[in-house]
A and B are shown apart, each in its own frame.
Chain A
């Protein structure tokens, strides 16, 4: 049997299409990765934040989402309970009880995506002295 490179490329294309078609009908489940955060990882902000916003790549169980913030000496920062009644969504938003004082802060999160997988992460940001 003979075979040309052109046919090889065609076969590759067909394989791609077939694979895509195979999974096109699959539900959009996936683990949750941090897509965007405010303040962002490594960011230095001039205006003291009054809330933290974490947006994930897929829907998460908001009731099981965990978020903590600690200051430079490891003291926990008080966060207000979430408002709103949604059970799932892609965004966690937590207000601080008071604007954050200048200094370095650490954020730790853990979320359960709708496919049943946990992911977690940490990052730091800084509030600049004015």
Chain B
């Protein structure tokens, strides 16, 4: 309470440009599976994922993805993402590019004291832009979504719960042909940086003080038809360095329609607004 009072005093001073990913003293790392609820200049490259049976049972899949997001204003960003994938179906190998996707994101809310953030996003998978022999969709799919984040630093009576944070997504994938699907998911994070700096320094050391253990989960449920819900649960670790983040997660399918075995994913993520604050790391218009 007293800490909050003191913080409120500081917050009354001139409005500053706070670093991306922050809501007050809470830093939300960029997560791999669930889009994070912040508008930022960032590059996720590469994201490597290995799975078996994700799209088709028995097929091994390796995928390399990139995502680049650029702020147009301090609250609005555009993004583009693509992926190169390789499939191995019992020795029959095929590779190529997935459809390109573009997106827009708008920052609706950053409540610093409540460590709460909210953003609206629209992603569009552009049909026919990938390799045709990979059987990519030749029509667009639109996915409007709400993204949220909430840190529990205000749980003042439960000291060791304060580093917890929840982020999530709720959206609908609307293809130009076929059934729409509800897309939803969440991450539960335990921020060791938050524990170290704002709750209790338990002596974990410099490396672990930058690590956030987390579980990500994302699901898709068809709104029409009788297809089963698919999705994965991804437990892992994110290491947040000064301007680069490294993430490693297991990919656990929730049923046979989601994958045959446990896979894994790894990502390098660059905070461009920290690396290039005067050039590509700042909003184009402000």
Contacts and interface: CB of A to CB of B under 8 A. Distances in A.
B9 A74 contact: no
B42 to A, nearest CB: 12
Given A28-B242, A68-B9, A119 B19 contact: yes
B46 A19 contact: yes
The size bracket of the interface on B is 35 or more
A57 B210 CA distance: 11
Interface string A75-117: 0000000000000000000000000000000111110110111
B198 A23 contact: no
A118 B2 contact: no
A123 B198 contact: yes
B24 A120 contact: yes
B46 to A, nearest CB: 4
A27 B13 CA distance: 29
A108 B25 CA distance: 10
Interface residues of A, number: 50
A5 B95 CA distance: 11
Contacts of B6: 68, 70, 106-108, 122
Given A31-B19, A72-B2, A115 B277 contact: yes
A11 B64 contact: yes
Nearest to A66: B10
B27 A33 contact: yes
Contacts of B206: 35
Contacts of A58: 242
Task: Classify the interface of chain A: helix, strand, loop or mixed.
Answer: mixed
Contacts of B193: 33
Interface in B120-166: 159
Contacts of A3: 86, 93, 95
20 contacts: A5-B62, A5-B88, A8-B86, A19-B268, A23-B270, A34-B197, A35-B209, A41-B199, A68-B6, A70-B6, A106-B3, A109-B10, A110-B10, A112-B16, A115-B274, A116-B17, A117-B273, A120-B7, A123-B199, A124-B2
For the complex of A and B, the 9 pairs showing the least CB-CB separation, nearest first, are A42-B200, A31-B19, A108-B6, A118-B16, A117-B19, A122-B3, A40-B201, A30-B242, A15-B46
Given A12-B48, A23-B244, 15 more contacts: A1-B95, A4-B93, A16-B268, A23-B243, A26-B275, A33-B193, A43-B201, A58-B242, A68-B9, A115-B277, A117-B18, A117-B277, A119-B18, A120-B7, A122-B25
